[in-house]
């Protein structure tokens, strides 16, 4: 082959390789655009919908890899990719990979556990879950466990903090009599005697099955099999909570018991709590499962006013704060409080580092300067129905552990 032929062949090879690369680049860009569209439709909120997908080219082929945890989302992605990019090699995984279809696959095993954004104890705390809460285990990795809670939140915990359960164990748990701890804070004991050694601490909202009873105590069993005793006076039958009819009087009584509890970003227990964690805890103890975050809670219930006016507001209404939508920027919800009446509200506020009672009236000593200016709207949950919230007994996770549907 002469030198001219060699040069020509070299340019042909370069041109072919460039054409392949350009085609792959165009396909990768197109696939990413398609995935962005699907994500906005099926997984717009990363707090409650797992979407961990990547697109890459390797040895001339394009791969779609990663994980999702919703079957409907998985099917929609597979269908769209097959129809629009049939040459793409799809290695995406639907979690969990056990294939049983069982929704609830674990129970929280400590009084309170921390769910973090990433599988590290140093990463952001996104929320907490309480003892006995039914959860969905998605996967384990390096001593950490990715779970989903009844409000949909996703987060990483230490593996021992969630006890895995199979269908037989779940059935047994469902059929057991269960109690909910209703004191703000306390302990379970090794004997039916509060002077005996504590087994573990408890917070309001912890759930445990009953084994036996003796002299003012109930014997209970932890998810990992530990036995302990709790005082009867500090618990309530779980089904009384699950089927409770929410009233403004009971909401006020419950929320005032949280007064003075320390503030913690991501906190959702009576050990330490944030603004929306306080609201969700209080409504849970009154039979209602709310979304976890203030930006989700604002879309529940019935709008009462968008300009603060105490006329027409009732105890238990939720007050939301942040930034109202304008022509140039969207609404941004940053805080939620619960109305008590007479311009006063109770909330978990970072500025004072505890749950406190404040007023919207500038003449009051407990007025917070600036709050009227950032008020967005008031919403009523009590007596209302709608999307995104409802009775605990209708929550898909809790239905798996409730013994008798009423």
Are 338 and 255 a contacting pair, CB within 8 Å?
Answer: yes
CA R_g for the chain: 26
Tokens of 256: 């005032």
Phi-psi label, residue 220: left if phi above 0, alpha if psi -120 to 50, beta otherwise: beta
SS3 of 112, please?
strand
Q: Which pair of tokens denotes residue 236?
A: 């309530």
Catalytic machinery residues: 275, 335, 347
DSSP for 338-396, written as a single string: EEEETTEEEEEETTTTEEEEEES-TTSTTB-TTHHHHEEEEEE-TT---TT-EEGGGSH
Instruction: Give CA–CA dist 126/254, Å, rounded.
Output: 24
Q: What is the DSSP letter of 134?
A: E
Sole residue written with tokens 């895995």: 164
């Amino acid at each position: 082959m002469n030198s001219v032929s060699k040069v020509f062949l070299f340019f042909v090879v370069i041109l072919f390789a460039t054409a392949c690369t350009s085609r792959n680049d165009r396909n990768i860009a197109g696939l990413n655009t398609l995935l962005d569209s699907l994500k906005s439709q099926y997984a717009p909120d990363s707090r409650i919908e797992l979407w961990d997908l990547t697109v890459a080219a390797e040895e001339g082929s394009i791969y779609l890899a990663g994980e999702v945890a919703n079957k409907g989302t998985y099917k929609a992605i597979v269908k769209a990719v097959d129809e629009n990019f049939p040459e793409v090699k799809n290695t995406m995984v639907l979690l969990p990979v056990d294939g049983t279809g069982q929704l609830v696959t674990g129970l929280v095993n400590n009084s309170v556990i921390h769910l973090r954004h990433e599988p590290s104890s140093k990463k952001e705390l996104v929320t907490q879950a309480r003892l006995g809460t039914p959860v969905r285990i998605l996967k384990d990795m390096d001593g950490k466990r990715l779970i989903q809670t009844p409000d949909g939140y996703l987060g990483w915990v230490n593996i021992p903090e969630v006890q895995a359960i199979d269908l037989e164990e779940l059935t047994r748990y469902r059929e057991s009599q269960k109690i909910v701890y209703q004191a703000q804070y306390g302990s379970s004991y090794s004997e039916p005697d509060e002077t005996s050694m504590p087994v573990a601490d408890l917070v309001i909202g912890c759930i445990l099955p009953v084994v036996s009873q003796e002299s003012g105590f109930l014997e209970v069993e932890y998810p990992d099999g530990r036995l302990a005793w709790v005082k009867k006076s500090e618990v309530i039958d779980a089904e009384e909570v699950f089927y409770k009819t929410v009233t403004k009087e009971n909401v006020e009584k419950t929320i005032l018991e949280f007064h003075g509890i320390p503030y913690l970003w991501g906190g959702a227990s009576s050990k330490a709590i944030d603004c929306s964690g306080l609201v969700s805890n209080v409504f849970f103890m009154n039979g209602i499962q709310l979304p976890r975050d203030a930006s989700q809670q604002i879309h529940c219930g019935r709008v009462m006013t968008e300009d603060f006016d105490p006329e027409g507001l009732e105890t238990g209404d939720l007050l939301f704060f942040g930034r109202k939508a304008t022509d140039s920027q969207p609404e941004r919800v940053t805080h939620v409080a619960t109305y008590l009446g007479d311009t006063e509200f109770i909330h978990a506020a970072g500025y004072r580092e505890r749950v406190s009672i404040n007023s919207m009236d500038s003449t009051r000593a407990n007025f917070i300067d600036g709050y009227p200016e950032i008020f967005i709207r008031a919403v009523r949950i009590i007596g209302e129905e709608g999307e995104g919230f409802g009775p605990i007994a209708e929550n898909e996770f809790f239905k798996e552990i409730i013994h008798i549907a009423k």
